[in-house]
Amino acid sequence: MTDFYTYRTAQGGKELSLGVFSTETRALTQQKQLQALGISAQITPQYKVKNQKFLLVQADKDIALELAALSQSRGNVSVIATRYEQGQCVPAH
């Protein structure tokens, strides 16, 4: 095995990473192969950071409703403030 990386844990111990797998199925296959050799292996998810852009808009009720409709019709638009109370948009709970 040539694809591995050692690193320190938050508790100060050492762990060995045997690679990053494109699917959970591939990781499980590797885990089963290691278990057959008597090696205990744990699968841990690894998350990627995704850059996000946002626009803060203070709008009247009509604009807020249009933005909420846009959010529902397009998968790549998120509207966080959709409620309109006392003349202002407030964050949805």
pLDDT higher than threshold 70 for residue 86 = no
- By the 8 A CB rule, do 61 and 90 touch? no
**82 Cβ contact list (under 8 Å, min separation 6):** 64, 67, 68, 71, 89, 92
pLDDT higher than threshold 90 for residue 22 = no
Segments making up each domain of the chain, as ranges: 1-48, 49-93
pLDDT higher than threshold 60 for residue 82 = no
pTM higher than 0.75: no
